[in-house]
Structure 1
Amino acid sequence: MSENERLLANEAPAFSKAARVKYFNIVIESGKGATVTDADGKTYIDLLASASATNTGHSHPHVVKAVQDQAAKLLQYTPAYFANDNAAKLAPRLTALAPISGPTALGWGNSGSDANDAIIKFARAYTGRPYIVSFTGAYHGSTYGSISVSSVSLNMSRKIGPLLPDVVKVPFPDPWKRLKGESEADFVDRMFAAFKLPFETYLPAEEVAVILIEPIQGDGGIVKTPDAYMHKVYDFAKANGILFAVDEVNQGMGRTGKWWSIEHFGLEPDLMSVGKSLASGLPLSAVIGRQDIMNSLGAPANVYTTAGNPVTAAAAMATIDVIEDEHLLERSTRLGKKAADFFAAEKKKFKFIGDVRMYGLDGGIDIVDPVTGEPDADATTKIIYRVFELGAIIISLKTNVLRFQPPLVITDEQLQSAFDILDQAFSELSAGKLSLPDNADEIGW
């Protein structure tokens, strides 16, 4: 029995099956830059970046030193009662980076989930309105508030209701809803009509507190909202006194070649959630918003014992240093162009590659049936498993979308090696050489 197998067998009786989306039977033991090594000593190129939580790579020396230095001084004293020096320095630094003009404030959390919960709380408090509008395909987290506004998997609502009341979900304008021959303008008009339908039939706009959207959906398939659609939604919100909030947990912190994905639209949110890569994967999140909104609640309405603690705040300060000093926004843009060119060339070679979406080092690649054009879940599973066997980690979303989100520090050489692995897997699938793993029915969302 391998060390991976031994550890997993030891864990299995004590670990809930609800707590992990299953992909590969490995135990991650260490990581460096854009690679991770399992308990058997095999090293992989990481094309997932811990679900976009390690944009600065694994164990970046500057982040590690900041954590070590702070841990030797003070691990934790609850920020619920007293400030600590790192968090006190981080708050104005992070709010200054937010794409919100005017006075801006934040509150700390431990995960993107509670940051999205906080959006709900502050929006209701500030507006005095009950209703929350979110989108199909969204993933906002796993707390009761954030799971209530999510809709990427039935297992996020199955057997755990009732969920948070007064949440209305509208269709996200993803490319799978576009009709054959439909123009971009007609698609946007049709999807915006679907957005407005609740407001015209049962949902009074004057009772809606906030519209929450991922400018680029993450777990929904790495899909950018059409620009014209986003502007229509934004204008509708402003015309009706509804707050406009964005989830930047997956797509923020430089992932798309900008600090925040909403910057691709030239719009300013009223509220935003940040997490994942904020502290290079350590448990820290933030809800950031206009100062008047963020002061609409009093303590302890958004207080957590460990949120914004000295160690995670030190990691976040160091993370921002790395993104700035190593020019990771520019790096994401440059390497993202190389990735876009690679996948475009592969699409010409292989008819099972459908739509390719790339926003910096942030991509969704559809795998489809070459004859029908429909999603091909089996082919997708064959690809990700073969890529894993060849020495890289990539997973699937929505059953048939390859999730391409390597750490932004990945080297040109590592990226080329990943391209070579992907090309080999695509070629072998095309030649009929790949088969499904024995546990294929367990793999994926």
Structure 2
Amino acid sequence: MVEDTNRSLLTKEAAALSPATRVKYYDIVIDHGNGATITDADGKTYIDLLASASSTNTGHAHPHIVAAITKQAQKLIQYTPAYFANEPAAKLAPRLAALAPISGPVKLAWGNSGSDANDAIIKFARAYTNRQYVVSFTGAYHGSTYGSLTTSAVSLNMSRKIGPLLPGVVKVPYPDPWQRLANESEDAFVDRLFRAFKQPFETYLPAEEVAVILIEPIQGDGGIVKAPTSYLKKVYDFAHEHGILFAVDEVNQGLGRTGKWWSIENFEGLEPDLMSVGKSLASGLPLSVVMGKAPIMDALGSPAHTFTAAGNPVTTAAALATLDVIENEHLIERSALLGQRAQAFFENEQKQFAFIGDVRMYGLNGGIDIVDPITGLSDATATTKLIYRVFELGAIIISLRGNVLRFQPPLVITEDELTQAFSILHQAFTELAAGTLELPNNASEIGW
């Protein structure tokens, strides 16, 4: 019998899979994973520096989580939480609510993905405020359902040919480093971007008709970019001044990724009214929540946000086990510590290689810009050469915005594995500097 290989499986799949469902990077089929490594159908093992888009913060096939899933599946796989409670979900709800960075009584609603959790923010905010408008930011990735897709602004293929999108959504510029002018101080940058934020409110968007401002405090797919604290404080104060809810998307950056439970905790004194959580909540199984202040979450009745499988016994059992692992293995502290080590590595490489531009690291979670050494502008070609060489050398890393290396390994990565990853990255950087790297044949297909 001929064994399935990467090539044979991808050939079989190609005839049946829509191209809309996958961002192209490497021609591999993941067969299994363990901790911070994954192995493809050809038997090649890679160090995982992506953590399944930050949805496996606890790593692959963690024994405690596998045991919890197995035990629950043997007991009850599914009975719709839309009608009846189940034991794991009933235990998880108050445990999650207690972890929310929100004062006062907190309630939540289940979903299947970060996308529908961000849809829920729109639903609950509109219901509570009796207002229609939603403000989001350029560079955002909130998901692919119609509401979350409308609030996103990271790829034209999220709006091309599928409009009209959700009405009542207004986008403003996110304060990312690519908008910083030469010799512009951070205070001047913040003031300029906040003026741009206010412009819609001063020209065509009545603040008293805005329900919610939705933001990633640290953008994920937008390039791993942290908003300046003073900027976010201005937006936060503006929202409260005008009775607008302040909502944060923690799907990519939550659950220890930034060295804290939630990315908003990197901004002292800012407390969301609503927040979305997904991805690593159940270590990659389909589970999400929207959490918020109780009066807001009481603004809707069923079935305004019910799903057949959302909050089912297996995914919520996995989430309980995930929280156990994060707490018992001190993954938040580990993220902060290993993030410092990663930052030191990339900053040292930055001194050696002129094509390494800005280095942003928040916990074990970084964006590294690859630029043209002469112009300082983004260099997507060099980035594609780099990520493909890293792949050939035995690690998985991808690009964002064409020229940003996305560095998000599982938080359980060992120090030896991290050292190996640094060695691979250094070799790829050295070869790029020497001019020996070539583009792969399918370079035009790679990336967002």
Residue equivalent to 2:9: 7
Q: Deviations over 1:141-165 (max 9, x none)?
A: 0000000000000000000000000
Residue equivalent to 2:176: 174
Q: Find the partner of 1:220 among 219, 222, 226.
A: 222
2:40 is equivalent to residue 38 of structure 1 = yes
2:282 is equivalent to residue 279 of structure 1 = yes
Alignment of 1:40-439 (within 5 A): 40-266=42-268, 267-439=270-442
Q: Deviations over 1:173-232 (max 9, x none)?
A: 000000000000000000000000000000000000000000000000000010000000
Amino acid at match of 1:231: K
Write the distance in 2 (CA, Å) between the matches of 1:254 and 1:292: 27
Normalised by the size of structure 2, how large is the TM-score?
0.99
Write the distance in 1 (CA, Å) between the matches of 2:5 and 2:59: 25
Q: How far apart are 1:2 and its partner, in Å?
A: 7.5
Helix, strand or coil: the match of 1:14?
coil
Write the distance in 2 (CA, Å) between the matches of 1:233 and 1:362: 24
2:444 is equivalent to residue 441 of structure 1 = yes
Write the distance in 2 (CA, Å) between the matches of 1:225 and 1:62: 36
Write the distance in 1 (CA, Å) between the matches of 2:168 and 2:143: 18
Amino acid at match of 1:421: I
Give the 3 Å change call, closer, same or farther, for CA 2–65 of structure 1 in structure 2: closer
Q: Tell me which stretches of 4 or more aligned residues in structure 1 moved more than 2 Å.
A: none
Helix, strand or coil: the match of 2:31?
strand
Q: How far apart are 1:403 and its partner, in Å?
A: 0.1
Helix, strand or coil: the match of 2:316?
helix
Q: How far apart are 1:391 and its partner, in Å?
A: 0.1
CA-atom RMSD in angstroms: 0.6
Amino acid at match of 2:11: A
Write the distance in 2 (CA, Å) between the matches of 1:16 and 1:349: 42
Helix, strand or coil: the match of 2:15?
helix
Q: How far apart are 1:245 and its partner, in Å?
A: 0.1
Q: How far apart are 1:113 and its partner, in Å?
A: 0.1
Q: Deviations over 1:78-113 (max 9, x none)?
A: 000000000000000001000001000000000000
Write the distance in 2 (CA, Å) between the matches of 1:390 and 1:321: 34
Helix, strand or coil: the match of 2:61?
coil
Write the distance in 2 (CA, Å) between the matches of 1:123 and 1:360: 31
Amino acid at match of 1:211: I
Identity of matched residues, %: 76
Helix, strand or coil: the match of 2:369?
strand
Normalised by the size of structure 1, how large is the TM-score?
1.00
Amino acid at match of 1:67: I
Amino acid at match of 2:442: N
Structure 1: gaps (5+ residues): none
Q: How far apart are 1:125 and its partner, in Å?
A: 0.1
Amino acid at match of 1:71: A
Say which is worse superposed, 2-11 or 257-266, in terms of deviation.
2-11
Helix, strand or coil: the match of 2:72?
helix
Q: Deviations over 1:14-51 (max 9, x none)?
A: 00000000000000000000000000000000000000
